[in-house]
Amino acid sequence: EVCVEPSSPQRLSQYACQRRTTTINHNKIFTDAFEVLIEHAEFNENEGRCLAFMRATSVLKSLSGAVRCLWDLEGLPCLGDQTKAVMEDILECGKSSKVQEILSDDKYQALKLFTSVFGVGRKTAEKWYRKGYRTFEEVLADSSISLNKMQKAGFLYYNDILKGLNRAEADVLSQIIEKTVHTIVPDAIVTLTGGFRRGKEYGHDVDFILTTPEQGKQEGLLGCVINKLRYQGILLYHDHQQSTFDFKKLPSWKFEAMDHYEKCFLVLKLKSDLVEVDTRRDDAAERDWRAVRVDLVAPPISHFAFALLGWTGSRQFERDLRRFARHERKMLLDNHALYDKTKKVCLSAKTEEEIFAHLGLEYIAPWERNA
């Protein structure tokens, strides 16, 4: 029979930060199904279910072969009865009836559609659904709904943003960002992070960390970058968030979606021969550009390694790094610092390797963090 981990006598860890997960996923038929279940659980605010399916998905992504039968799952962590039942369904019928049911659910379809708009979260989507709306046309026709700046951009560039970017386009964008940043601070450090640093071929945005060799000189950099991008005529949308960095409050003791660094969420015009523009669309007929999402974050150099580790992802890898630190090492990790609760000290680090070493973890390279 097929064995999933033929040459690995070691038991797979329950923590994603102790597994090596490349972009090659041999179990997509299962993980695609679980992504639907995860999203459905998220919409219903069922955190427990959500977490269980996320962990199971992550374990399956780390396997070196496809699961062919339930026996293959023997000894694997994070796979409970619920997840096994779904997988059994898929192994027997090629699909899961539970997933099919959700996919054809009216509420799921509406929330999925609405949250696909940049700036529209679960709460807003739910509000629109409760008003009886199922399509964008219905939402946009209601004059009592006032869209914020982000949502307006989200609707305006919907098709472009939904398309995301490939690696070649991300590279073109990297050059634009680097050039722009270096006209302001010549020795600034521009580092590609997020999914593209993990080696993904496709992304919904491009993420960069900007910092300067001189501590503190990154302050005000993002404002200048935004001005330069505007001057170049490629700035379509920006949400600039000032730093709320307070050293005394480090580390922030809970899971936080946001960190305290100065950052900006952008929509930029990407002009290039490489860029595919969908010319079938009326509004695209005359343009030679596509709207793309870009995130910039500007930590001080002293915290660069923590910011880089935090922004490289994947989200599940980050979640498990923090959980591992807390439960296995009595340490607190976030995008700013690593705190040892036993010694009552913050452990500094200049590189990601040092952070892994502080945690007593084998180093996992960025392209192995696609958990």
As given in the structure block, the two tokens for residue 211 are 């910092």
**Nearest partner of 40 among 102, 119, 113, 101, judged by Cα:** 102
CA distances from 25 to 58, 61, 63, 248, 277 (A): 10, 5, 8, 42, 29
- Shorter beta-carbon distance to ligand ATP: residue 31 or 335: 335
Contacting positions for Mn ion (CB under 5 A): 194-195, 203, 205, 207, 295
Catalytic-role residue among 89, 105, 239, 295: 295
Q: Which does 258 bind (CB under 5 to 8 A by kind): Mn ion, ligand ATP, none?
A: ligand ATP
Tell the smallest beta-carbon distance from residue 169 to Mn ion (Å): 13
Residue type, 365: A
Q: Residue 141, SS3?
A: helix
Q: How far apart are CA 197 and CA 36, in angstroms?
A: 26
Tell the smallest beta-carbon distance from residue 134 to ligand ATP (Å): 26
**Interacting residue with ligand ATP among 318, 320, 334, 352 (CB under 6 A):** 318
Catalytic-role residue among 72, 160, 207, 320: 207
When asked if residue 258 is in the footprint of ligand ATP (CB under 6 A), the reply is yes
CB contact at 8 A, 72 and 2? yes
Scanning 199-207, 247-255, 283-291, 343-351 for contacts with ligand ATP by CB under 6 A, the matching segment is 199-207
DSSP letters of 9-34?
Answer: -SPPPSSGGGS-B-S--TTHHHHHHH
Q: How many CB atoms lie within 10 A of CB 69?
A: 13
**Interacting residue with ligand ATP among 36, 63, 170, 194 (CB under 6 A):** 194
Q: Which residues contact 39 (CB under 8 A, 6 or more apart)?
A: 108, 112
Q: Which residue is nearest to Mn ion (CB)?
A: 194
In the range 24-83, which residues lie near ligand ATP by CB under 6 A?
A: none
- Shorter beta-carbon distance to ligand ATP: residue 221 or 371: 371
205 among known catalytic residues: yes
Q: How far apart are CA 330 and CA 359, in angstroms?
A: 10
CB contact at 8 A, 198 and 370? yes
- Shorter beta-carbon distance to ligand ATP: residue 88 or 164: 164
In the range 281-300, which residues lie near ligand ATP by CB under 6 A?
A: 295
Scanning 59-67, 113-121, 125-133, 305-313 for contacts with ligand ATP by CB under 6 A, the matching segment is 305-313
- The residues that are catalytic are 205, 207, 295
Which residues sit at the interface with ligand ATP, rule CB under 6 A?
194-195, 200, 203-205, 207, 258-259, 295, 310-311, 313-315, 318, 335
